[in-house]
Every structure is written in structure tokens, then in C-alpha cells.
Amino acid sequence: QKAEWETLKTATSITADGKHYDVAANIGTPKDLDGVLANGAEGIGLYRTEFLYMDSAELPTEDDQFEAYKKVLETMNPKPVVVRTMDIGGDKHLPYLPLPEEDNPFLGYRAIRISLDRQDIFRTQLRALLRASAFGNLRIMFPMIATIQEFEAAKKIFLEEKANLQKDGVKVSDDIQLGIMIEIPAAAVLADQFAKHVDFFSIGTNDLIQYTMAADRGNEHVSYLYQPYNPSILRLVKNVIDAAHKEGKWAGMCGEAAGDPIMVPILLGMGLDEYSMSATSVLKIRSLMKRLSTADMAKMADVALNENISNDDNAALVKKTTGQ
Ligand code: PEP
Ligand code: MG
């Protein structure tokens, strides 16, 4: 296994029937880049920028952020880097940014909701990203999008800051894809409409599962309901992938499920384009993909989506079909 993984470090991710998919990595800070390079990820599928804010005693300046983003983009160039704008709120807090007391923080003031409200913070982040875009292959995604109006509002601010920088003669890329995380069921259901507006989707199963099953992702008393392979979750995921492809867009996944050897065969069967995971899972998943044929996985996914009725049935089906 060690020898196989060694050769896979410099390989692209190809299935047994010769189809290529991107196996990318999730990072929280530029320090995580060593692991990404060591494991040969085909890009960064999720850069969680909130750590930049959480590791700082005050709001990070535009220049501080620019340096961090530039480092990541330059290191990965020409491979793509999907940077997620600040996802604060929920269980993530900043000492210098007091948030309201809320009965349900996970259903409250969080992520893009804060960014659209505190445009000073959001514009600073977008300007830093735009300046860094000249140094690599940048894609930006917005977290916790529930409505198309939120996406359009965020895009409008992005375009305003882009125009401002260009007016000042700052070099910015003209080729920045704008996408959204699919982690709220409303967005998954309306994926066909979202797909006309965005450049890509990245499915955040950590939150999508918790909101779909109404089961707190960190609450052990309801953890039995945290079911990645539940047909309800799989159908939402399929809806998102199909909607993207219908509009010629791509769909990825950056929640934990994207690096799960039980979930990946089903996702291959549904045609997911990009799989972003902890860097330490990249070679394991690349090796697994090499053994799977997408045609066989499509047949299996059909059963998982339409015949089986439980999470456990689907886990057993994948294990049996793929010999895990
Ligand atoms: C997700 O919700 O799946 C996700 C990737 O975002 P986070 O885990 O940072 O909430
Ligand atoms: Mg999330």
C-alpha cells in the first residue's frame, strides 16, 4: 500500500474506466500547505478563512489577509484554490466582534449573513482576495447561502470592489469563479435556479446533514440521526450535481463526506466533479477511485437513491459492492 500511495502522490485521480475527477484538500491556514503538497492534492477545495480572524486579536487588516491569500495562491498555482469568505457565528466566535446572544446560534447570525450586514468587514476581505487573485487561480465561495438574493448581493459587492481596484490601477484576475456552499436545504432544493447564477457549487455536508435531519452536528444525543447516506441527503446531493451539469457548471463537495470511503463510491456514481477533504485522506481516496468504475457506481447509486430506505442499508450496499 505504501508503494502504491507513493506513486499516487504525483498522479491525477482516475477511475478504473478512465474518468478524471479532482481530489482536492481543505485547509484552515497557509501552514496547512505542507500537507497539501506532500499528498499531491489537485487543488484546494476549501480554504476556511475564518481561522485568519480567529487567530488574531483584532480584525485582520486588508494587507494581513492579502499576504495569507497570496501565499496560498502562489504555492498552489496553477492549481485552483477555492477560498470561502468568513464563516463566523454558529460555534465560532471572535473576541473583538461581539455577536448577539441567540437561542439558536446555528440558525442565527452567521457567515454570509454577517458579511452582508457588516459590509466593512466583507469589503476588506474581498479587496484582499481580489488583489491576491493576480498570483494564482482563485475561486471565491460564499458560506451559508439560503437565497439567490443573498448570492446576488454578495456578487454585487464583489463587482464593486473589483471595479474600485481596477480604477486605482491594481491588477486583478478577470477570471475569478464565484460559487456558493450548498449547506442549507433551501439552496439544495433550488439548485436548478441557483445554477443559472453561480459558477460552481460546493456541497458542505457537515451542515447540510445537520439542517436536513434537524440534528445538531455536535450533539451526541442525536448523533444517530447524523446520517450521510440517508436517501434524503443523497437525493439533495444528486439534485445539486444534476442542476450544475444542466447549466454547464461544476459541483464539488467539501464536507467530511467527500473524504469518506463509503460516500465516495456513491458520489462517483452520481457524477460529482470535485472531492475536497483533509490532506491526509487524498491518497486513500485517489487509490479507492482507481479501483472503481463509474458505470458500476452509477448502478449502485440508483439503488441507494431509489430502493434502499436507510443509512445503514446504503453503507452495507457500498461495502458489498466495492469490497471494503
Ligand atoms: C460544511 O458545512 O460541510 C463545511 C465544509 O463547512 P464547515 O464544516 O466549516 O461548517
Ligand atoms: Mg458549514
233 lines ligand 1 (CB under 6 A): no
Ligand with smallest separation from the Cα of 204: 1
Ligand with smallest separation from the Cα of 86: 1
Q: Mean pLDDT throughout 252-261?
A: 98
Share of the chain above pLDDT 90, in %: 97
Please check the confidence at residue 138 and state whether its pLDDT lies above 90: yes
Average pLDDT for the chain: 97
pLDDT at residue 64 in the model: 97
Question: Measured between alpha carbons, how far is residue 263 from residues 32, 205, 229, 292, 310 in Å?
Answer: 25, 11, 7, 13, 14
Q: How far is the CA of 184 from the centre of ligand 1 (A)?
A: 11
Q: Is 207 known to sit in a ligand binding site?
A: yes
pLDDT at residue 91 in the model: 84
Residues 3-33 have pLDDT tens digits of 999 999 999 999 999 999 999 999 999 999 9
Distance of CA 264 to the CA centre of its chain: 15
Q: Is 217 known to sit in a ligand binding site?
A: yes
Please check the confidence at residue 126 and state whether its pLDDT lies above 90: yes
**Which segment of 1-5, 17-21, 105-109, 181-185 scores lowest on mean pLDDT?**
1-5
Residues 74-98 have pLDDT tens digits of 999 999 999 999 999 988 999 999 9
pLDDT at residue 1 in the model: 80
Is residue 196 annotated as part of the catalytic site, yes or no? no
Please give the number of the atom of ligand 1 that sits closest to the Cα of 143.
Answer: 6
**Residues at Cβ < 5 Å from ligand 2 ion:** 183, 204, 207
Q: What is the pTM of this model?
A: 0.98
Q: Mean pLDDT throughout 144-162?
A: 98
Residue nearest to atom 7 of ligand 1 (CA): 206
Please check the confidence at residue 106 and state whether its pLDDT lies above 90: yes
ipTM above 0.85, yes or no: yes
Q: Is 84 known to sit in a ligand binding site?
A: yes
Residue nearest to atom 8 of ligand 1 (CA): 206
24 lines ligand 1 (CB under 6 A): no
pLDDT at residue 159 in the model: 98
Q: Which residue has the cell 442542476?
A: 243
The band of 2, judged by pLDDT with boundaries at 50, 70 and 90, is: confident
Could you say which of 132, 141, 190, 254 is catalytic? 254
